[in-house]
Amino acid sequence: MKTRVEVADDDLFGPRNLPYGVFAPEGAGFRVGVRIGEYAIDLAAALEDPVFAEPNLNAFMAQGPRRWREVRNRIRELIDAELPTAAVHLLHDVRTKLPVQIGDYVDFYASIDHATNLGKLFRPDAEPLLPNWRYLPVGYHGRAGTVVVSGTEIVRPRGQRRTASGTPDFGPSQRLDIEAELGFLVGIGSELGTPIDIDEFAEHVFGVALVNDWSARDIQAWEYQPLGPFLGKSFATSLSAWVTPLAALEAARIPLPRQVPEPLPYLRGSQSWGFDIDLAVRWNGQTVAHPPYARMYWSPAQMLAHLTANGAATRTGDLYASGTISGPASDQRGSFIELSWGGADPVMVNGLHRTFLEDGDEVVITASAPGPNSHRIGLAEVRGRIWHARPAP
């Protein structure tokens, strides 16, 4: 039997988008699928290709850009015609999981507005940007094993926090925060000792997904000097269940803001890899921020070139994220430490003055971007709810 999938012309997840994910119908195992409207299409059944019977996207991503284009074109042909009925499932009838087996995870700090805001908060009597910031995409290595799929409950982390006396105690974070980010997934890796050229970005990166890099600001503030983020960041990073292929974002590509001083030669590319993507952050159902990705100072191509500049290898499934996306306006800040200005200027959420996350709070990050023919496409949400800290061992 055959089925025709119908979606509204203005659906953010129509045939111009087609993000990939991994899902399981009731009573069946996980397999690779593509989302269209409110449906998940089983690609193993639709395309009769065993690579899509895998429980993650890695095997498909490792096939490279030519294969990615072929599959995307074939999916669009099938959707324009008819699909096997057994391949079509309603989204609300399936379970999703982390779409990729994550290799390594790197988080950057690529927003000049976010970096400036934090500089003003942490170093009010000094230049907000540190001397290296305009010369390279600053980043740190995160913990791949705690990247979780959207919808996973987040346990409030415990750690050392500085007290008023200047010495630490140990307990649940009291300044738990979010970071609204865009993640990039490596499809084709690179060999140890071989940097990726900035203009080879699209030959290596498969697609993008929304990220929430949860942050325990009080733990981070005590521990991060002199080596940077550790327990304040490593407890959880949420990733969307659906990955938007780079091809779907072609109409959203824009030039980067002017970079001063001009980057060093290995960070200069001949292609524009800025993206006009608009995010929205909802806190307990109320939209509190609209971070604009178009304002990002460093591009994902520059991030990847810098990540591998020392010869570091990459692998299929590696994830790197942009860092917090913020804009110059107060309602464009992609973290609660910025929105509440370090807690000094609380945000009104459903009639309550709020600064950082409390148990039971839910945060949902969504995004959309220009698509072909003046339509818009959506990036699948990343969602998480805070759960109380587990008792200390």
17 CB neighbour count, 10 Å cutoff? 29
15 to 58, 73, 188, 251: CA distances (angstroms):
23, 10, 25, 14
Number of continuous H segments (helices) and E segments (strands) in the chain:
9, 28
Q: Find the helix or strand (DSSP H, E) in which 204 lies.
A: helix 201-204
C-alpha atoms less than 13 angstroms from C-alpha of 273 in its C-beta half-sphere: 25
Amino acid at 119: G
Is 212 in contact with 236 (CB distance < 8 Å)?
A: no
Render 24-41 in DSSP notation, one character per residue: EETTS--EEEEEETTEEE
Q: Find the helix or strand (DSSP H, E) in which 301 lies.
A: helix 300-307
Structure tokens at 192: 């140890």
Give Cβ neighbours of residue 181 (< 8 Å, ≥ 6 apart). 107, 210, 211, 212, 213, 321, 322, 323, 324, 325, 334
Amino acid at 154: I
What are the backbone dihedrals phi and psi of residue 310, each rounded to the nearest 5 degrees, phi first?
Answer: -90, 5
Give bridge partners of residue 323 from the DSSP assignment: none
Is 290 in the active site? Answer: no
What are the backbone dihedrals phi and psi of residue 78, each rounded to the nearest 5 degrees, phi first?
Answer: -65, -40
What are the backbone dihedrals phi and psi of residue 68, each rounded to the nearest 5 degrees, phi first?
Answer: -60, -45
Is 198 in contact with 223 (CB distance < 8 Å)?
A: no
> Out of 114, 141, 290, 375, which one is annotated catalytic?
114
Please give the sequence-ordered ranges of beta strands (E in DSSP) within 88-153, or none if there are none.
Answer: 88-90, 94-96, 105-108, 139-141, 147-149
Active site residues: 114
